[in-house]
A = this chain, B = another copy of it.
Amino acid sequence: MTKFRVCLFGAGEMATTHAINLRADPRMVLAYVVDPSAERAGALAAATGARMVDPDTAFADPDIAAYIIASPPRTHADYLERAARSSAHVFCEKPIDHDIGRARACLAAMKGREAFVQMGFNRRFDPQFIALKQAIAAGRIGTPEQVLIVSRDAEAPPVEGFVHSSGLIKETAVHDFDLIRWLLEDEVAEVYVMADALINPDYLSVGQIDTTTTSIRMARGTHVTVLNSLRAAFGYDQRLEVLGTLGQAAVGNMVGSQLVLATTQGVLGEKPYQSYFQRYAKAYRSEMQDFATAVATGGRVTPDAIDGLRASEVAEAALLSMAEKRPVAL
Protein backbone atom coordinates (compact mmCIF):
# COMPACT_ATOMS: atom_id res chain seq x y z
CA MET A 1 0.00 0.00 0.00
CA THR A 2 1.40 3.41 -0.99
CA LYS A 3 1.56 5.68 1.98
CA PHE A 4 0.96 9.37 1.53
CA ARG A 5 3.51 11.56 3.26
CA VAL A 6 2.14 14.51 5.18
CA CYS A 7 3.78 17.59 6.66
CA LEU A 8 2.24 19.29 9.70
CA PHE A 9 2.74 22.97 10.53
CA GLY A 10 2.21 23.69 14.20
CA ALA A 11 2.77 21.60 17.31
CA GLY A 12 0.13 22.97 19.69
CA GLU A 13 -3.12 21.40 20.85
CA MET A 14 -4.89 21.62 17.51
CA ALA A 15 -1.89 20.30 15.57
CA THR A 16 -1.48 17.44 18.03
CA THR A 17 -5.13 16.48 17.63
CA HIS A 18 -4.74 16.41 13.86
CA ALA A 19 -1.53 14.34 14.16
CA ILE A 20 -3.28 11.73 16.33
CA ASN A 21 -6.27 11.52 14.00
CA LEU A 22 -4.08 11.39 10.90
CA ARG A 23 -2.06 8.49 12.29
CA ALA A 24 -5.25 6.47 12.71
CA ASP A 25 -5.46 6.34 8.92
CA PRO A 26 -3.19 3.53 7.62
CA ARG A 27 -2.81 5.28 4.26
CA MET A 28 -1.14 8.33 5.77
CA VAL A 29 2.28 8.81 7.33
CA LEU A 30 3.29 11.93 9.20
CA ALA A 31 6.68 12.79 7.73
CA TYR A 32 7.44 16.26 9.10
CA VAL A 33 6.51 18.51 11.97
CA VAL A 34 7.34 22.21 11.59
CA ASP A 35 7.17 24.61 14.54
CA PRO A 36 9.43 27.48 15.70
CA SER A 37 9.59 25.90 19.13
CA ALA A 38 12.10 23.07 18.81
CA GLU A 39 10.88 21.72 22.13
CA ARG A 40 7.28 21.38 21.04
CA ALA A 41 8.07 20.27 17.51
CA GLY A 42 10.60 17.73 18.79
CA ALA A 43 8.19 16.26 21.29
CA LEU A 44 5.39 15.87 18.77
CA ALA A 45 7.77 14.49 16.13
CA ALA A 46 9.14 11.95 18.61
CA ALA A 47 5.69 10.86 19.67
CA THR A 48 4.54 10.36 16.10
CA GLY A 49 7.66 9.04 14.43
CA ALA A 50 7.97 12.19 12.31
CA ARG A 51 11.01 14.41 11.71
CA MET A 52 11.21 17.95 12.99
CA VAL A 53 12.27 20.15 10.08
CA ASP A 54 12.28 23.81 9.11
CA PRO A 55 9.78 25.21 6.58
CA ASP A 56 12.30 25.32 3.75
CA THR A 57 13.03 21.61 4.06
CA ALA A 58 9.33 20.87 4.22
CA PHE A 59 8.48 22.82 1.09
CA ALA A 60 11.54 21.52 -0.81
CA ASP A 61 10.45 17.89 -0.50
CA PRO A 62 8.59 16.95 -3.71
CA ASP A 63 7.18 13.79 -2.12
CA ILE A 64 4.91 15.52 0.35
CA ALA A 65 1.34 14.71 -0.67
CA ALA A 66 -0.35 17.06 1.79
CA TYR A 67 0.34 19.99 4.09
CA ILE A 68 -1.66 20.48 7.26
CA ILE A 69 -1.53 24.06 8.51
CA ALA A 70 -2.38 24.22 12.21
CA SER A 71 0.05 26.94 13.17
CA PRO A 72 -1.00 30.43 14.39
CA PRO A 73 -3.36 32.41 12.08
CA ARG A 74 -0.74 34.98 11.07
CA THR A 75 1.36 32.22 9.42
CA HIS A 76 -1.46 30.68 7.34
CA ALA A 77 -1.25 32.89 4.25
CA ASP A 78 2.52 32.44 3.88
CA TYR A 79 2.31 28.67 4.20
CA LEU A 80 -0.67 28.54 1.84
CA GLU A 81 1.17 30.55 -0.80
CA ARG A 82 4.28 28.39 -0.53
CA ALA A 83 2.16 25.24 -0.65
CA ALA A 84 0.43 26.67 -3.72
CA ARG A 85 3.69 26.31 -5.61
CA SER A 86 3.66 22.53 -4.98
CA SER A 87 1.17 19.98 -6.21
CA ALA A 88 0.25 18.95 -2.66
CA HIS A 89 -3.19 19.16 -1.07
CA VAL A 90 -3.68 21.41 1.90
CA PHE A 91 -5.70 21.27 5.10
CA CYS A 92 -5.75 24.70 6.68
CA GLU A 93 -7.21 25.84 9.98
CA LYS A 94 -9.25 29.01 9.68
CA PRO A 95 -8.63 31.75 8.74
CA ILE A 96 -6.82 31.96 5.44
CA ASP A 97 -5.74 35.32 6.77
CA HIS A 98 -7.33 37.81 9.12
CA ASP A 99 -6.79 40.43 6.43
CA ILE A 100 -9.46 39.88 3.80
CA GLY A 101 -7.29 41.39 1.04
CA ARG A 102 -4.47 39.02 1.83
CA ALA A 103 -6.93 36.11 1.97
CA ARG A 104 -8.23 37.02 -1.48
CA ALA A 105 -4.66 37.19 -2.79
CA CYS A 106 -4.08 33.68 -1.43
CA LEU A 107 -7.10 32.39 -3.29
CA ALA A 108 -5.86 34.08 -6.46
CA ALA A 109 -2.46 32.40 -6.02
CA MET A 110 -4.17 28.99 -5.80
CA LYS A 111 -6.35 29.58 -8.86
CA GLY A 112 -6.10 26.82 -11.41
CA ARG A 113 -4.32 24.36 -9.16
CA GLU A 114 -5.40 20.72 -9.36
CA ALA A 115 -4.78 20.12 -5.66
CA PHE A 116 -7.43 21.15 -3.16
CA VAL A 117 -7.59 23.14 0.04
CA GLN A 118 -9.80 21.99 2.93
CA MET A 119 -10.56 24.53 5.67
CA GLY A 120 -10.75 23.40 9.29
CA PHE A 121 -14.38 24.18 10.05
CA ASN A 122 -14.88 21.14 12.24
CA ARG A 123 -18.58 21.72 13.04
CA ARG A 124 -19.51 20.54 9.55
CA PHE A 125 -18.25 17.09 10.56
CA ASP A 126 -20.10 16.82 13.85
CA PRO A 127 -22.51 13.84 13.74
CA GLN A 128 -25.12 15.79 15.70
CA PHE A 129 -25.20 18.72 13.29
CA ILE A 130 -25.06 16.35 10.31
CA ALA A 131 -28.13 14.54 11.64
CA LEU A 132 -29.90 17.89 11.98
CA LYS A 133 -28.95 18.91 8.42
CA GLN A 134 -30.20 15.55 7.14
CA ALA A 135 -33.49 15.99 8.97
CA ILE A 136 -33.94 19.33 7.19
CA ALA A 137 -32.97 17.79 3.85
CA ALA A 138 -35.51 15.03 4.45
CA GLY A 139 -38.22 17.65 4.87
CA ARG A 140 -38.90 16.81 8.51
CA ILE A 141 -39.34 20.46 9.54
CA GLY A 142 -40.14 22.11 6.21
CA THR A 143 -38.44 25.35 5.21
CA PRO A 144 -36.20 26.93 7.88
CA GLU A 145 -37.43 30.26 9.21
CA GLN A 146 -35.67 31.06 12.46
CA VAL A 147 -32.39 29.58 13.64
CA LEU A 148 -30.67 29.80 17.00
CA ILE A 149 -27.00 29.00 17.57
CA VAL A 150 -25.58 29.08 21.09
CA SER A 151 -21.80 28.83 21.12
CA ARG A 152 -20.05 29.63 24.37
CA ASP A 153 -16.73 28.64 25.87
CA ALA A 154 -16.69 27.10 29.32
CA GLU A 155 -14.07 29.34 30.84
CA ALA A 156 -12.99 32.88 29.96
CA PRO A 157 -9.23 33.44 29.67
CA PRO A 158 -7.42 36.03 31.79
CA VAL A 159 -7.07 39.42 30.10
CA GLU A 160 -3.37 38.87 29.44
CA GLY A 161 -4.13 35.53 27.79
CA PHE A 162 -6.60 37.15 25.44
CA VAL A 163 -4.57 40.14 24.31
CA HIS A 164 -3.21 38.41 21.21
CA SER A 165 -6.40 36.51 20.38
CA SER A 166 -8.22 37.11 17.12
CA GLY A 167 -11.17 37.88 19.37
CA LEU A 168 -14.61 36.39 19.91
CA ILE A 169 -15.89 37.16 16.39
CA LYS A 170 -12.91 35.88 14.41
CA GLU A 171 -12.07 33.05 16.78
CA THR A 172 -15.50 31.65 17.68
CA ALA A 173 -18.37 33.29 15.81
CA VAL A 174 -16.67 32.63 12.46
CA HIS A 175 -17.29 28.90 13.09
CA ASP A 176 -20.98 29.68 13.49
CA PHE A 177 -20.98 31.79 10.33
CA ASP A 178 -19.61 28.81 8.38
CA LEU A 179 -22.01 26.46 10.18
CA ILE A 180 -25.03 28.45 9.12
CA ARG A 181 -23.90 28.75 5.48
CA TRP A 182 -23.44 24.95 5.38
CA LEU A 183 -26.61 24.11 7.30
CA LEU A 184 -28.92 26.35 5.30
CA GLU A 185 -27.01 26.15 2.00
CA ASP A 186 -27.49 29.88 1.75
CA GLU A 187 -25.41 33.03 2.06
CA VAL A 188 -25.43 35.66 4.77
CA ALA A 189 -27.10 38.81 3.47
CA GLU A 190 -26.96 41.07 6.50
CA VAL A 191 -25.44 41.00 9.96
CA TYR A 192 -25.96 43.04 13.11
CA VAL A 193 -23.84 42.54 16.22
CA MET A 194 -24.36 43.73 19.76
CA ALA A 195 -21.05 43.32 21.61
CA ASP A 196 -19.95 44.02 25.17
CA ALA A 197 -17.41 43.09 27.80
CA LEU A 198 -19.85 41.84 30.44
CA ILE A 199 -17.74 39.07 31.93
CA ASN A 200 -14.70 41.22 32.41
CA PRO A 201 -14.72 44.95 31.49
CA ASP A 202 -10.92 44.85 31.48
CA TYR A 203 -11.08 43.06 28.14
CA LEU A 204 -11.93 46.46 26.63
CA SER A 205 -8.47 47.71 27.58
CA VAL A 206 -6.94 45.20 25.15
CA GLY A 207 -9.57 45.82 22.49
CA GLN A 208 -11.58 42.71 23.23
CA ILE A 209 -15.19 41.94 24.06
CA ASP A 210 -16.59 38.76 25.65
CA THR A 211 -20.31 38.64 24.85
CA THR A 212 -21.94 39.04 21.46
CA THR A 213 -25.50 38.71 20.25
CA THR A 214 -25.58 38.51 16.47
CA SER A 215 -28.63 38.80 14.21
CA ILE A 216 -28.27 37.53 10.67
CA ARG A 217 -30.64 37.63 7.73
CA MET A 218 -29.80 35.04 5.09
CA ALA A 219 -30.21 35.67 1.36
CA ARG A 220 -33.41 33.63 1.28
CA GLY A 221 -34.71 35.51 4.32
CA THR A 222 -34.10 33.02 7.16
CA HIS A 223 -33.39 34.68 10.49
CA VAL A 224 -30.37 33.49 12.45
CA THR A 225 -29.37 34.42 15.99
CA VAL A 226 -25.89 33.59 17.28
CA LEU A 227 -25.25 33.88 21.01
CA ASN A 228 -21.52 33.86 21.76
CA SER A 229 -19.80 34.24 25.08
CA LEU A 230 -16.41 33.50 26.53
CA ARG A 231 -17.97 31.77 29.52
CA ALA A 232 -20.79 29.44 30.40
CA ALA A 233 -19.90 28.39 33.92
CA PHE A 234 -21.52 24.95 33.51
CA GLY A 235 -19.53 23.96 30.44
CA TYR A 236 -18.90 24.32 26.72
CA ASP A 237 -22.35 25.41 25.54
CA GLN A 238 -22.98 24.32 21.95
CA ARG A 239 -26.58 24.23 20.81
CA LEU A 240 -28.39 24.56 17.53
CA GLU A 241 -32.08 24.78 16.78
CA VAL A 242 -33.99 25.45 13.62
CA LEU A 243 -37.66 26.39 13.43
CA GLY A 244 -39.18 25.48 10.09
CA THR A 245 -42.61 25.64 8.55
CA LEU A 246 -43.46 22.15 9.85
CA GLY A 247 -41.67 22.06 13.19
CA GLN A 248 -38.35 22.40 14.96
CA ALA A 249 -35.13 20.41 14.92
CA ALA A 250 -32.72 20.88 17.80
CA VAL A 251 -29.43 19.56 19.10
CA GLY A 252 -28.63 20.21 22.74
CA ASN A 253 -25.44 19.94 24.73
CA MET A 254 -23.63 16.63 25.00
CA VAL A 255 -22.95 15.05 28.34
CA GLY A 256 -20.32 12.42 29.07
CA SER A 257 -22.15 10.60 31.84
CA GLN A 258 -25.84 9.86 31.99
CA LEU A 259 -25.86 9.46 35.74
CA VAL A 260 -28.83 11.20 37.33
CA LEU A 261 -28.97 11.72 41.09
CA ALA A 262 -32.32 12.41 42.72
CA THR A 263 -31.94 13.69 46.26
CA THR A 264 -33.50 16.23 48.58
CA GLN A 265 -31.60 18.86 46.57
CA GLY A 266 -33.40 18.02 43.34
CA VAL A 267 -32.69 15.93 40.27
CA LEU A 268 -29.08 16.41 39.21
CA GLY A 269 -27.56 15.47 35.86
CA GLU A 270 -23.97 15.90 34.83
CA LYS A 271 -22.51 19.02 33.25
CA PRO A 272 -21.98 19.11 29.47
CA TYR A 273 -18.52 18.58 28.04
CA GLN A 274 -16.09 21.31 29.10
CA SER A 275 -14.02 21.80 25.96
CA TYR A 276 -14.18 21.65 22.20
CA PHE A 277 -11.69 18.79 22.14
CA GLN A 278 -14.25 16.69 24.05
CA ARG A 279 -17.40 18.00 22.39
CA TYR A 280 -16.06 17.83 18.86
CA ALA A 281 -13.76 14.79 19.21
CA LYS A 282 -15.71 12.86 16.58
CA ALA A 283 -15.85 15.88 14.29
CA TYR A 284 -12.06 16.31 14.43
CA ARG A 285 -11.57 12.62 13.64
CA SER A 286 -14.05 12.75 10.82
CA GLU A 287 -12.68 15.89 9.16
CA MET A 288 -9.15 14.41 9.15
CA GLN A 289 -10.45 11.07 7.79
CA ASP A 290 -12.27 12.89 5.03
CA PHE A 291 -9.13 14.88 4.25
CA ALA A 292 -7.05 11.68 4.13
CA THR A 293 -9.58 9.99 1.88
CA ALA A 294 -9.63 12.95 -0.46
CA VAL A 295 -5.82 12.97 -0.59
CA ALA A 296 -5.72 9.22 -1.20
CA THR A 297 -8.48 9.10 -3.78
CA GLY A 298 -8.19 12.50 -5.40
CA GLY A 299 -11.71 13.41 -4.32
CA ARG A 300 -12.92 16.81 -3.38
CA VAL A 301 -14.08 18.02 -0.01
CA THR A 302 -15.74 20.96 1.61
CA PRO A 303 -15.32 23.34 3.27
CA ASP A 304 -12.88 24.72 0.72
CA ALA A 305 -10.95 27.96 0.45
CA ILE A 306 -13.95 29.84 -0.89
CA ASP A 307 -15.87 28.79 2.21
CA GLY A 308 -12.96 30.04 4.27
CA LEU A 309 -13.11 33.40 2.53
CA ARG A 310 -16.89 33.69 2.86
CA ALA A 311 -16.83 33.05 6.61
CA SER A 312 -14.12 35.67 7.00
CA GLU A 313 -16.16 38.15 5.00
CA VAL A 314 -19.09 37.66 7.37
CA ALA A 315 -16.73 38.12 10.33
CA GLU A 316 -15.46 41.33 8.74
CA ALA A 317 -19.01 42.60 8.30
CA ALA A 318 -19.74 41.67 11.91
CA LEU A 319 -16.80 43.73 13.12
CA LEU A 320 -17.93 46.67 11.00
CA SER A 321 -21.43 46.33 12.49
CA MET A 322 -19.88 46.44 15.98
CA ALA A 323 -17.83 49.50 15.12
CA GLU A 324 -20.61 51.43 13.41
CA LYS A 325 -23.50 50.09 15.51
CA ARG A 326 -25.69 49.30 12.52
CA PRO A 327 -26.64 46.28 10.40
CA VAL A 328 -24.14 45.65 7.60
CA ALA A 329 -25.10 44.11 4.28
CA LEU A 330 -22.81 41.70 2.46
Residues on A lying within 8 angstroms of B by beta carbon are 127-128, 131-132, 135, 140-142, 145-146, 148, 150, 152, 190, 192, 194, 196, 198-199, 211, 213, 215, 217, 221-225, 227, 229, 231-235, 237, 243-252, 254-272, 325-327
Contact = CB atoms under 8 A, between A and B. Distances in A.
B215 A229 contact: no
A326 B328 CA distance: 10
Contact of A326 (B140, B237, B262, B326): B326
A329 B250 CA distance: 33
B248 A234 contact: yes
Given A146-B213, A251-B259, 10 more contacts: A127-B256, A135-B259, A145-B198, A194-B217, A215-B215, A233-B246, A234-B266, A235-B262, A266-B268, A325-B327
A196 B143 CA distance: 15
A144 to B, nearest CB: 9
13 contacts: A127-B257, A146-B227, A148-B227, A196-B221, A198-B221, A213-B215, A231-B245, A248-B263, A249-B259, A249-B261, A250-B262, A266-B269, A269-B269
Contacts of A256: 127
